[in-house]
Amino acid sequence: MNALEKYELEELEASEVLKDESHGWKIDSLESADWAFRKIAALKKANKEIYQLADKERERIAEWETKETQSNQDSIDFFEHKLADYLRELRKNDPKVKIKTPHGTVNTRKQADLWEYRADAVDTLKKLGLTEFIKVTETVNKADFKKAVQVLEDGRVISPDGELIECVKVIPQGEKVIVKSNGDKSR
């Protein structure tokens, strides 16, 4: 943040503008509008610096966390591997054996087979006449639909044939005020 931006923030803090909105302060000229834009720009710059600092801190903490937990995870993996080896050794004599202690158990669980489908699976199933296993997703072509229908003042939608379409209603959204200060490069 440069000195001018710092001055803008200091001036804003010293002013009574933000302290009590009931004083009736308002923008009534290009000068006051420009003053507000300068304050917005300085505040956004301050936010950007805060975000950057916070991002650096999060990154630093994540690196610390990874470093601190990695050796623990390596040890956990080592012990789990040794327990699995021991279970496999016991299973040579008894295929249903489990390891059970006061601090944990080791067992196996059957996993579902992984089905791998190639990119041409749909075409192949169609050729084989197995279309009952193919999903077809139907959606409204909204762009073409909007061009083809007529919207009444109350938001009801009329088809090109003049029929009322009950399943669709248009809800007016009005206008939205958009304030852009020069140099807007928000997060």
- In the chain, pLDDT over 90 holds for what percent of residues? 67
> In this model, does residue 123 exceed pLDDT 70?
yes
- CA nearest to 5, candidates 61, 33, 47: 47
Q: Are residues 39 and 95 in the same domain?
A: yes
Asked whether the predicted pLDDT for residue 140 surpasses 60, the reply is yes
Higher pLDDT, 17 or 154: 154
Q: Quick one: pLDDT band at residue 9, thresholds 50, 70, 90?
A: confident
| Coil/strand/helix, residue 156 | strand
pLDDT at residue 128 is higher than 80: yes
104 by DSSP, 3-state: which? strand
Residue 8's pLDDT is 76
The pLDDT tens digits for 99-119 are 999 999 999 999 998 999 999
Report how far residue 36's alpha carbon sits from residue 183's, in angstroms, rounded to the nearest whole number. 14
Residues 137, 63: Cα–Cα separation, whole Å: 44
What are the tens digits of pLDDT across the range 60-73?
Answer: 999 999 999 999 99
> Are both 7 and 67 inside the same structural domain?
yes
pLDDT > 70 in the chain, percent: 92
| pTM: predicted TM-score of the whole model, two decimal places | 0.50
Residues 19 and 61 in one domain: yes
- Say what the pLDDT of residue 21 is: 62
pLDDT over 70 (residue 23): no
In a domain, 175, yes or no: no
Q: Tell me the torsion sign for CA atoms 136, 139, 144, 150.
A: positive
Shared domain check, 90 and 140:
no
Indicate the residue type of 115.
W
Whether residue 8 is contained in a domain is answered as yes
User: How many domains, the chain?
Assistant: 2
More confident residue, 72 or 8: 72
- Whether residues 19 and 99 share a domain: the answer is yes
Q: Which domain holds residue 142?
A: 123-169
**According to the model, what pLDDT value does residue 2 have?**
79
The verdict on 99 and 7 lying in the same domain is: yes
- What is the chain's mean pLDDT, rounded? 89
